Amino acid sequence: MEATTGVIWLIVTPFATAFIVYLIGRILARRSGAKLANRISAWLAALGLLISAYPLYLEDQIVLSNKVVLFKQGGIIFYLDGISVLLAVVVLLLGLLVVIFSARYMSSEVGAEKYYALLLAMIGGILGLGCSADLFTLWVWFEVMAITSYMLVAFYRNQPASLEAGFKYLVQSAAGSVFVLIGIFIVFAWNGTLDMMRIRYFLQPPLPPILLVAGGCFLIGFGVKAALVPLHTWLPDAHSQAPSGISAMLSGIVIEAGLIALLRVTSIMGAASELWGNLMLGVGALNMLLGNLMALRQTQVKRLLAYSSIGHMGYMMFGLGVIYRFGILNGAGGAFFHLFNHAMMKGLAFLAAGVLLYVLYIAKGDHGTLTLDDLNGASKRYPLTVFTLSVALLGLGGLPPLAGFMSKWQIFVAGFQTQDTVAMLLVVFAALNSVLSLGYYAPLVNRMYRLQPSVAVENGAAVPKTMVVPLVVLTLLIVVLGFYPSLLNWLTEPAAGILFLFIRG
Amino acid sequence: MTLSLVSLTFIAVIGLLAIGLYALLVVHNLIKVVVALQILAKGAILGFILAGRINGQIGLAESLALTVIIVDTIVAVIGLSLAVQIRHHMGTLDVSALTRLRR
Amino acid sequence: MANVLILLILGLPWLGALLVWWVGDQRSKAQIVLAILFSVLAGVASLVLIPFASNSVALNIPLGGAFGDFTFVADGLGIYLAAIATIIGSLAVIFSVDYMRGEAQLGRYYALVLFFIGGMAGLVLTSNLLLMFVFWEITALCSYALISFHSDDPKAVYGGIKALIVTQFGGIGLLAGALLIYAYSGSYDLQAFIANPQILPPGVLAVTAFGFLVAAAAKSAQFPFQTWLPDAMEAPTPISALIHAATMVNAGVYLLARFYPAFERVPGWREAVVVVGVVTALMAALMALVSNDLKRVLAYSTVSQLGYMVYAIGTGGVFASQFHLMSHSVFKALLFLAAGAVIHSIGTRDIRQMGGLGAQMPLVRTVFAIGALSLAGIPILNGFWSKELILESGSAHGPLWAWVMMVICAGLTALYTFRCFWLVFAGEPRSHLHGHDAGTAMKVALIPLAVGAFLTELLAGPFAYILEHTVPLMEIEVGTTLSILEEVVTTPLTLVALAVVALGLAVWWWREKLSGLSEALAGIGRVAADSFGFEAINRGIVNSTNWLSEKLRRTQTGLLNWNIFGITAGFLLVLIILVIGG
């Protein structure tokens, strides 16, 4: 396979599979009933993702040898580098696990083939976003991702809460998208091109004010998706109301994709990198504080996890702020490592919470809300699920020997390598936030290990076997990376390197 | 003449964006919210035309604008269908009724 | 050879933890056997490691990048603390067989204990700052999980989370210090740093030194972080003995001792260490005097004795502090386990309801008495020698006021120890509780510790020898066991201290006649019972955080227009910042 066609295969496969899944799913649903259709759709979707992993593997060989893959067709430019590979690996891995998880979770829903088709399209959108090398293509993929995620958030069309969450998400996200467009047309007007590498070449310091405004628009536009405070208000609603698999995707990869898009556009304006760095450091601190404080007093499990995602975006923003402001490579390395770990940990947390939601409510046809009280004493009946959820929560809280600790450490190292007082104080602030976050993770873990089970647990159903697989895989990943963090260097270091190259011209 | 057309378009872009954003801040009806989003998007589309005019690549700008229109219409359709569902399940189109999810 | 042994010391307990968890709660017999087997094997491995002591890197796992090389060094200081952790760990596991019999979720219990043992051994054996922090946090994690093992009890959950958060808060000091060392020297190797601390600019070195002091104070429950340890007493008693008396709380002292050669010349650092030690020792002794909860008395006493060790380091007596650490580990583990036997048999921790239990549980009374005498500093038990060594070092190199305070504290120690022993075992029974003597497994754990309380001072010489040869930077020259003991016996200061200890005992003996004095001190007692206002500070912090959280939650109004306002305001804010910054 040619390297350039590989990029196309990588992006096209999920969409083609989405189409096939929808078609076959519809036909089967008509002929043999929803049950079979749902199951076949799930396995087809998983197969599609596995197939798209193959071109990624091939491309990866090239990118690892420090080359980039470029594909140009008219104004559309695809470009595969370290960051694209990172995003692609995370989205395919998490996507595959989510599909396996959903096979049972969505088994009794009407129209699950639509769910898988949309999920695949969303994954395709994220893959495309990671590989885009011109501003407009980036926006188009960003919108593909956004539009599919609106429909997925509002998938339970007869649930007022999910409709509400979906609508709010749509409006905020669409408003943000307009800001992105404003940024793009300003840059386009100024440079006469949308090719990001050429723009990077054109824009040497000092940047004219109008381009700073464009950068501000990008920050706001992609910031809505990346849930930067104060643009975060859609996140707790959408992430808590979506089907659990989608919550895992949203928190695990969609907001991170927003972040990657933000990096792409701000890095071409690397001429003002210190300014972006300062903004990122500030927003990072805000995100950490607000996310953790909001999560502290939540009573619903998924909402709590959603707020914690806001906090974790703060850590990533902090690491990226360090590389933008000070040019410390570990900042990006740590941020990308944390991106991966957060995808795994938050994915695991949402999936495990989803398992509990399924066995306590959905298996009985009840679309209830999983509250903290429901989890009391869950370990007695669901030892493995509870164990994996505990690992996820403690990892999110930054306790070793779990992956979350190591990536936070790398970010903190970067903060101190600046030898700058403010940055070092911000690291201390971030560490304090980690301690604060234990104030809600730890009680949740304790709750699940009580001896006296809640009413919901006593009447809970059994855990389906296929749901356990993703939980175990993710748990193993989190633990292994906690013990051996440099195992992921092949993924994070090229990404950090390419970002550094862009920022420093 | 060209200059004045550009500046006129520029004013129109700013105006559309400002109106759209202001409307999003104040309207309470879900349908009107979607309309406000459309106004915002039209501002952006006009912005692309303006940009093409400025750098002389009007052809490219027009094709970009067309793409934005398509995407934008899809968003509007989904938004409206959600509004219909909300009307169906909650019996209202008032934004302030959509506050079950908070805190 | 040393590298294999280090891997065994870490790996055996962790492997055991995995197996115990794997076996499952349905087969609790197998779980117990596995737990005992793997903890004892780790203990054996740590003993075998002693002859291999050296200050060169024994095991190196290079990771590169921001993570450095994961290195382990088995020098004198590390080996002996690892031996304490694994040996007392295995005794605690054995004791638990009786103590935890019939409890639910035993797999979680034993797995966590084993995980802790490995983590603690790793903490003292590693020479990589990142890894040190990792193990530091692992021990905190295990401590939290085991304190709140009985998750149905809100007090246990509160105690566990409090312990976790307070030690994590202090841990930021270690984090910042470690990161500073890495940022300025480019290496995580703590031996290289200790050998050459000038690599850091003086100001940075001072921040590091005080950061480490904060971390050590939080971990070792020193002023002003002492409040978590008493609340940690909700843990099952073997856990209190292992984690909150013999091993984890010593990590702070270990940290200070380890880095003493690097920090001793930082202006004000030694003075600060002395102040922390003295204030803690005194405050905790007073609290121990007024507490009515058997385990809390022991917890306060632990805090107080850790204060002694910290004080010793501040006065340059690193060897004295480590020697006392060893004695304390043995006799305090003994006291806790004996107290555990009492609590297990009568089902309460309130010493006002006890009394006259000695007749019902003679063995427990005897071993408790041995531990208590050692704690009080009565000759010939191990606590006597090490405490006198600390006081001697303090009088030689520390300020006089601090020494006087510590001698007074020795008297207080004797007083509260005797009070506690008397109320539990002597006199008339004050309620109808019936005790039974310790079970077999309990005896197996108690008797070696009781023997140890008589004998561990004999290890002083060999211990000093190993330290002298493998940790040369500490500049320890102490000589043989005999010369150390002789030095203690021949110093007149010993007599002063002994006189004060006797005075302490006398105060308890004639407590009826001294009622005027006790009334005069009632005010202090009340303040002490309220832990000198530190609980109020903790509560204030927790309440204000919760208040802030609740207030902040109102910003999530759920109103769409408000959400859009967030976007608009964010945009305007960014524009303003861009105008100012650009």
Clarify whether residues C403 and C326 are in a common domain.
yes
Asked if the model's pLDDT at residue A58 lies above 70, the reply is yes
Clarify whether residues C570 and C482 are in a common domain.
no
- In total, chain A counts a number of residues equal to 505
Chain B residues bordering chain A (beta-carbon distance below 8 Å): 17, 20-21, 24, 30, 33-34, 37, 40-41, 43-45, 47-48, 50-52, 54-57, 60-61, 64, 67-68, 71, 74-75, 78-79, 82-83, 85-86, 89-90, 98, 100-101
In 3D space, the residue among C131, C267, C265, C126 whose CA is nearest the CA of residue C196 turns out to be: C265
A140/B101 Cβ within 8 A:
no
Specify the number of domains making up chain C. 2
pLDDT, residue A424, reads 95
In 3D space, the residue among A308, A448, A469 whose CA is nearest the CA of residue A389 turns out to be: A448
User: Running DSSP on this structure, what letter comes out for residue C381?
Assistant: S
Each residue's pLDDT, cut to its tens digit, for chain C (582 residues) gives: 888 999 999 999 999 999 999 988 888 889 999 999 999 999 999 999 988 888 888 888 888 778 888 999 988 889 989 999 999 999 999 999 988 888 888 899 999 999 999 999 999 999 999 999 999 999 999 999 999 999 888 899 999 999 999 999 999 999 999 999 999 998 999 889 999 999 999 999 999 999 999 999 999 999 889 889 999 999 999 999 999 888 999 999 999 999 999 999 999 999 999 999 999 999 999 888 888 889 999 999 999 999 999 999 999 888 899 999 999 999 999 999 999 999 888 888 888 888 788 888 889 999 999 999 999 888 888 888 899 889 988 888 889 999 999 999 998 898 889 888 888 888 777 777 777 787 888 888 899 999 999 888 888 888 888 888 888 777 777 778 888 788 778 887 778 888 888 888 888 777 777 776 667 777 777 777 777 788 888 889 999 999 999 999 999 998 999 999 999 999 999 999 988 876
Asked whether A413 and A334 are in contact (CB, 8 A), the reply is: yes
Please name each of the domains of chain B with its CATH number.
2-97 (1.10.287.3510)
Cα–Cα dist C141/C465, whole Å: 34
Clarify whether residues C264 and C394 are in a common domain.
yes
> Within a 10 A sphere around the Cβ of C161, how many other Cβ atoms?
23
Clarify whether residues C407 and C549 are in a common domain.
no
Asked if the model's pLDDT at residue A61 lies above 80, the reply is no
Q: Say which range, A302-311, A348-357, A409-418, C382-391, has the weakest mean pLDDT.
A: C382-391
Clarify whether residues C547 and C476 are in a common domain.
no
Of B20, B83, B90, the CB nearest to A160: B90
User: In the numeric block, which tokens belong to residue B85?
Assistant: 């569902």
- List b or e across B12-39, with b for residues whose CB sees 16 or more CB atoms inside 10 angstroms: bbeebbeebbebbeebeebebbbbbbbb
Average pLDDT, chain A: 91
pLDDT, residue A64, reads 67
Question: Which residues of chain A lie closer than 8 angstroms to B74, CB-CB?
Answer: 147
User: In the numeric block, which tokens belong to residue A53?
Assistant: 């992993």
Cα–Cα dist C79/C322, whole Å: 12
pLDDT, residue A66, reads 64
Clarify whether residues C433 and C564 are in a common domain.
no
Asked if the model's pLDDT at residue B1 lies above 70, the reply is no
Cα–Cα dist C405/C560, whole Å: 65
Asked whether C276 and C217 are in contact (CB, 8 A), the reply is: yes
Clarify whether residues C45 and C175 are in a common domain.
yes
Question: Which residues of chain A lie closer than 8 angstroms to B33, CB-CB?
Answer: 171
User: Running DSSP on this structure, what letter comes out for residue A463?
Assistant: P
- Tell me, yes or no, if A403 comes closer than 8 A to chain C by beta carbon: no
- Tell me, yes or no, if B101 comes closer than 8 A to chain C by beta carbon: yes
Asked whether B53 and B9 are in contact (CB, 8 A), the reply is: yes
Best mutation site among C108, C132, C151, C153 for testing chain A: the one with the most A CBs within 10 Å?
Answer: C151
Subunits next to C (3 or more Cβ pairs <8 Å) are A, B
Average pLDDT, chain B: 91
Cα dihedral C207/C208/C210/C214 (nearest 10): 120
Rounded mean pLDDT of A427-434? 95
Which own/partner pairs from C194-200 qualify as long-range (CB within 8 Å, at least 24 positions apart)?
C194/C258, C194/C259, C194/C261, C194/C262, C194/C473, C195/C473, C197/C261, C197/C262, C197/C263, C197/C265
pLDDT, residue C222, reads 92
Task: Write the CB contacts of C276 (distance below 8 Å, at least 6 apart in sequence).
Answer: C213, C217, C222, C223, C307, C310, C314
Asked if the model's pLDDT at residue B98 lies above 60, the reply is yes
Band of pLDDT at residue A205, cut at 50, 70 and 90: confident
Helix axes A421-448, A403-417, angle to 10 degrees: 170
In 3D space, the residue among C277, C158, C262 whose CA is nearest the CA of residue C217 turns out to be: C277
Question: Which residues of chain A lie closer than 8 angstroms to C135, CB-CB?
Answer: 400
Subunits next to A (3 or more Cβ pairs <8 Å) are B, C
Residue A293: HSE in the Cβ half-sphere, 13 Å Cα cutoff: 23
Cα–Cα dist B3/B16, whole Å: 20
Asked whether C185 and C136 are in contact (CB, 8 A), the reply is: no
% of chain B exceeding 90 in pLDDT: 73
Asked if the model's pLDDT at residue B2 lies above 60, the reply is no
Clarify whether residues C493 and C559 are in a common domain.
no
Cα–Cα dist A138/A268, whole Å: 13
Cα–Cα dist A428/A421, whole Å: 11
Clarify whether residues C374 and C430 are in a common domain.
yes
Of A170, A181, A237, the CB nearest to B68: A181
Clarify whether residues C525 and C546 are in a common domain.
no
The interface pTM score, or ipTM, of the predicted complex is: 0.96
pLDDT, residue A100, reads 94
Of A212, A379, A412, the CB nearest to C175: A412
Cα–Cα dist C78/C55, whole Å: 10
Task: Write the CB contacts of C55 (distance below 8 Å, at least 6 apart in sequence).
Answer: C73, C75, C191, C470, C471, C472
Q: Which residues pair with C60 in a beta bridge?
A: C71
The last residue of one of the domains, among C529, C549, C568, is: C529
Asked if the model's pLDDT at residue A108 lies above 90, the reply is no
Query: Hey, is C364 helix, strand or coil?
Result: helix
Cα–Cα dist C387/C378, whole Å: 10
Asked whether C181 and C129 are in contact (CB, 8 A), the reply is: yes
- List b or e across C34-59, with b for residues whose CB sees 16 or more CB atoms inside 10 angstroms: bbbebbbbbbbbbeebbeebbbebbb
Best mutation site among A129, A185, A191 for testing chain B: the one with the most B CBs within 10 Å?
Answer: A185
What does the radius of gyration of chain A's CA atoms come to, in whole angstroms? 21
Of A140, A171, A237, the CB nearest to B67: A140
**Residue showing tokens 């793997």:** C38
B61/A188 Cβ within 8 A:
yes
Q: Which domain holds residue C542?
A: 537-581
Of B41, B79, B83, the CB nearest to A178: B41
Asked if the model's pLDDT at residue A488 lies above 80, the reply is yes
Clarify whether residues C317 and C224 are in a common domain.
yes
Band of pLDDT at residue A137, cut at 50, 70 and 90: very high
First to last CA, chain C: 62
Rounded mean pLDDT of A85-102? 94
Clarify whether residues C519 and C551 are in a common domain.
no
